[in-house]
Structure 1
Amino acid sequence: MSDDVVRVSPSSLATYATCPRKFEYDKEWSVESPEESRRYLDRGLAYHGAIEDTCAWVAEQSDSPTDDEIQTYAHEAIERRWEDHADRDEYASDAQFGYDRQVAIAGVDAYFAEDGLEHARNSVAQEGWLSCDRGDVHLHGRVDNIVRTDEGLQIIDYKGKLSGIVSGRSHDKIEAHHAGEAYHSDILKSVFQAATYIEGAKATDYYEPGMDVEFTFYGVLYSVDRTPGQDGLTVTVDGKSRDVGWIYEADEDTIWSLIEDCYTGIVEGKYTPEPWEAIQENACGDCAYQGMCGDYIGAEVSLDD
């Protein structure tokens, strides 16, 4: 593969699918948008790091650790990672800071009380890059965990929640978006990730012909319950997984057609927002670049006239 090949990430494809102009500002020009509070970003770094640390530690052990040993290590790992990543200045109060700490720790504890044990014992790679090539399209992305299963490989992407992730109820929106019948860019990042990571996994040394490759989003903080008591607030967290490999298989041709359209637009520098009316209605409202976007300002002026 030539060194001058342009590789694009699922995130970039999704930004372009949302609005080509937004991609131009964000990725091409690197225009700084109003800075978002790092509260949730840092919390995500903490639990991602703790899971990565734990899976890597298990892989390094000459003897298979017990469940208790894995759980103890994971608990200590999230406490360390919290100290490394969390910034008290991003919080309105000590109580809010302490609450988020409880949520992060409870989420990692819950994960390694169930699915995380098997994932840690069978993890073959953590935080690694996967690349895939299909025709003139070249993609890459960083995956959180690659786990060996009885059927083959499972690619896991950790999220806080599962909002915005394609599901059995929403996967028909992929075709509707592709056909121009509706605008559903919110779920496209998850299907672009599925395509990149499933096909990327097949290009690794971990893959053997005939293996099943599953792609799973895991909501570490899917359900958070708070119970007040005399000693303060008790937080209970439950995670939830969502397998989307079957959706990729069912909609593979449509997904790759969308990917090809976005990839071509990116590499050829086509940033005119189309279809404009759908983008204006669905994507402009919460866009950080709204105040500097000539397309949006021009449309607003026209409406005022």
Structure 2
Amino acid sequence: MTAEPDPDADTGDESGSSDSSDRHNVPIEGIQTYLSCPRQYEYEHVYRLTADDESPETDRLHLLRRAICAALRAGDVETLEERALEEFETQWDDYAEEVHSPTQRRHERRVLEATIRAYAEAVGCDHAKGLYATRATGITGELVGPDLPVTATVSATRVGGENVVDLDIDATIDYAFLEGSSFVGVRFVAAPDHLGLARYRDSWEGDIEDAFADHVDPESDRFEPRLVGTLFETATVLEGLRTLRDRLGLEDARTCRYVQIPLLDRGGLSVNWHRDRVETTLEPIDLTDRYLDHDTFGMTLEHRNRTIDGQLKRVTYAASTGSYEPTERWEQIERHACPTCPYTVCCPEYLSSEVAFDG
């Protein structure tokens, strides 16, 4: 078996220069897959098997992200909405999607255009002002993506050995800016379904803390990979933002925050067929307080959570050092992950559970 990391090992990149260190790189999407099923992680991120998981929703999200980021990069608050719509129109002309009719295609286009307007009205213009004010401080470095990389580095010491394993966890955001004394990272997502319980609770203490503790408890049957994956992503992005903040020399930013903006959530969509009007609303979700442990904050004055950070280290270490057997949580994995997994045809655990011989 692979040795567990020392839970007392430091978090950060201080050990990166050690001659006795190994380095592993893992994307946060991989960690989230590992939470759902270690075997699926092995197929996707070790063997690099690919499944055809592209969907119209994914394509539409890419269209919106590129259009909005291009408008933000232009540097003019007053024309933000107009520029985003123009960029979207250019991309839409080259966008091919299988639809039932030209009427449906026209409707989908109008929904996405309404989304851009809703973004500009809800937060876009305010975020753009903060972005341009941040640029005006004289920093040299990119603040707008899409897919602006941020990386968290954690270090783990192998039990029984001296060498240190440096684990780089990669994530991306779409843009970052100063807002008061906080450095804010924003990522566009399709819908909030992936947040799990964090969609409905706004603080760590209470239900989120209990659900997290139950998920990591080997004696518990509770299985919350989406919630835990969201908290791990938040931890990764916040650490990456701290690194980016320090590299850019943003001394006024005492804390960092992470916000997701669902762009394709149809919950706020309103269609008036008689007046030929399409409108929608957006609800940004600040994940920082869902992650923040106030006891840790009181000790570090940073938005951190030692419980989450420690588990993130352990899971990342396991994923990067070959622990792929899903037997410990197989009943929950089979129930939650297998029905939509594209690799069941070659998964030994799944096949052995499906095939039985009389004897």
Higher alpha-carbon deviation: 294-303 or 49-58:
294-303
Matched, 1:284 2:293: no
What amino acid does structure 1 have at the position aligned with 2:240? Answer: G
Q: Could you tell me whether the CA contact under 8 Å between 2:241 and 2:256 is conserved in 1? A: yes
Matched, 1:171 2:208: yes
1-structure distance, mates of 2:65, 2:80: 16
Aligned length: 293
Q: Identity across aligned pairs (percent)?
A: 21
1:67-115 CA-to-partner distances (Å, cap 9, x unmatched) read: 3x2221122122223234x213x33332332222112111011111231
Pair 171,215 (structure 1): closer, same or farther in 2 beyond 3 Å = same
1:9 aligned partner: 27
Which ranges in structure 1 are unaligned for 5 or more consecutive residues? 59-64
Structure 1 residue 17: deviation in Å?
0.9
Higher alpha-carbon deviation: 147-156 or 179-188:
179-188
Q: Could you tell me whether the CA contact under 8 Å between 2:61 and 2:263 is conserved in 1? A: no
2-structure distance, mates of 1:28, 1:103: 38
1:197-227 CA-to-partner distances (Å, cap 9, x unmatched) read: 1011111224437612111111123322222
Q: Could you tell me whether the CA contact under 8 Å between 2:172 and 2:187 is conserved in 1? A: no
1-structure distance, mates of 2:88, 2:129: 18
| Structure 2 counterparts to residues 11-30 of structure 1, below 5 A | 11-30=29-48
1:62 aligned partner: none
Give the one of 101, 105, 116 matched to 2:109. Answer: 101
Give the one of 51, 63, 73 matched to 1:56. Answer: 73
Q: Could you tell me whether the CA contact under 8 Å between 1:39 and 1:91 is conserved in 2? A: no
2:270 aligned partner: 225
What amino acid does structure 2 have at the position aligned with 1:114? Answer: A
Q: Give the 3-state SS of the residue equivalent to 2:69 in structure 1.
A: helix
Normalised TM-score (structure 2): 0.75
Which ranges in structure 2 are unaligned for 5 or more consecutive residues? 1-15, 135-142, 157-166, 202-206, 294-303
Pair 210,122 (structure 1): closer, same or farther in 2 beyond 3 Å = closer
Matched, 1:203 2:243: yes
Higher alpha-carbon deviation: 171-180 or 40-49:
171-180
2-structure distance, mates of 1:162, 1:199: 22
Pair 218,258 (structure 1): closer, same or farther in 2 beyond 3 Å = same
Matched, 1:187 2:218: no
RMSD over equivalenced CA pairs, Å: 2.4
Q: Give the 3-state SS of the residue equivalent to 2:24 in structure 1.
A: coil
Q: Give the 3-state SS of the residue equivalent to 1:272 in structure 2.
A: coil
Matched, 1:253 2:306: yes
1-structure distance, mates of 2:262, 2:330: 33
Highest Rg: 1 or 2? 2
1:282-303 CA-to-partner distances (Å, cap 9, x unmatched) read: 2111212122222111111249
2-structure distance, mates of 1:37, 1:235: 26
1:214 aligned partner: 257
Q: Could you tell me whether the CA contact under 8 Å between 1:168 and 1:247 is conserved in 2? A: no
Q: Could you tell me whether the CA contact under 8 Å between 1:174 and 1:254 is conserved in 2? A: no
1:220-264 CA-to-partner distances (Å, cap 9, x unmatched) read: 23322222126xx53211111111111222282232233122211
2-structure distance, mates of 1:304, 1:117: 67
